[in-house]
Structure 1
């Protein structure tokens, strides 16, 4: 018999998994159909669903704080803030939405999330997979580094479109070093989290 917490957690992860799967499938289908021309309006096609998924990801901070999800709060907080702030910038500046870098960024974000949500779904069902565990906590580290580099490139390409808004321009320039510091802390925390999860799995297998 599932508890309310388990039903909620399963539903949340299933929604996120379905949303990101739709985004990725839609983006790939458009690219296969229209080629490079599809890059120009990818954000128009998937931006709403992507924004909704990222907005709801704020709930994960409460999940971790409440013990619903066993993960480190700091790296997840940094990642959630990074994505939502950058999405707000992209949404506000229509000129940047058609840039190929935005399409690449959305692709990397989706791959990162599609590594995590299937594993969490299996954890809710108490049927974790070592393959998904390894992929979730190993592959996401280089992918996260690539996504941070892409975020920095996106911010750099945003700067010419900011216009006369000096305050906004200063904030964006300040964001770049903060992004580097936050990414460094996150990578360190992700490496520790990976080691802890793999050690816990090995201990579990030895007890069996």
Structure 2
């Protein structure tokens, strides 16, 4: 299982590193002009990495990974909804600047998270990386929440006009599904999910800091 997890984390790290490096290089060379076609440049790899992350839920359920399920479920589903149902489904949203910001924040966290998990899987503790893992989420997750909320907000007019994912079903009674209403409910629930995830990371950070204090006292 260690070998399998190591290969999985390595694949994810390579994918997110490629995205992060590509975005950074494009920003340095093309500046603001790179925002418009960010999704076209890295969208396919981003989709592959996020779909692959569903395996992490199975890892926890099968006992392969020892992590809390609900925070992971919240993070994975949150990204899938934003990426596939909001960004991928609306071509007009894909060229928005906020999409570039959101992808940058997601991948900034993942290029730290996956190497940390990879080293943990093989029993290696790299202090600098461990500190980054327990610290970088503090600015990244709230900023990601703001970017996600703004992305959904920017997409609402396009869903209203185009009627994407809006259906009328003829059951024993007429049922109408208006997707913008669902997105508005999702907007209200999104901060709660991110707050729950952050509280989990905060608990992990407290435990990490206590362990560091104990190590210093022993020395």
| Fold shared by both chains (TM-score > 0.5) | yes
Structure 1 residue 173 corresponds to structure 2 residue 184? yes
Q: Deviations over 1:31-71 (max 9, x none)?
A: 12211111100110000000110111111112223333332
Q: TM-score, normalised by structure 1?
A: 0.91
User: What's the secondary structure of 2:29's corresponding residue?
Assistant: helix
- Mapped to 1, the partners of 2:81 and 2:24 lie a distance apart of 25
Comparing 91-100 with 61-70, greater Cα deviation is found at: 61-70
* Correspondences of 1:103-122 after superposition (within 5 Å): 103-122=100-119
- Mapped to 1, the partners of 2:74 and 2:62 lie a distance apart of 18
User: What's the secondary structure of 1:70's corresponding residue?
Assistant: coil
Task: Please tell me whether the aligned partners of residues 134 and 198 of structure 1 are also in contact (alpha carbons under 8 angstroms).
Answer: no
Comparing 8-17 with 69-78, greater Cα deviation is found at: 69-78
Which residue of structure 1 aligns with residue 55 of structure 2? 59
Q: TM-score, normalised by structure 2?
A: 0.86
Structure 2 residue ranges without an equivalent (≥5): 167-177
Which residue of structure 2 aligns with residue 12 of structure 1? 8
- Mapped to 2, the partners of 1:23 and 1:191 lie a distance apart of 27
Structure 1 residue ranges without an equivalent (≥5): none
- Mapped to 2, the partners of 1:180 and 1:118 lie a distance apart of 27
- Mapped to 2, the partners of 1:81 and 1:24 lie a distance apart of 21
Shift of 1:201: 5.9
Runs of 4+ in 1 over 6 A off after TM superposition: 204-208
Task: Please tell me whether the aligned partners of residues 96 and 157 of structure 1 are also in contact (alpha carbons under 8 angstroms).
Answer: yes
More helix by share: 1
Instruction: Tell me the number of residue pairs that the alignment of Structure 1 and Structure 2 aligns.
Output: 204
Aligned-CA RMSD value: 1.9
Bigger Rg, structure 1 or 2: 2
* Selected match of 1:29 from 17, 25, 46: 25
Task: Please tell me whether the aligned partners of residues 93 and 161 of structure 1 are also in contact (alpha carbons under 8 angstroms).
Answer: yes
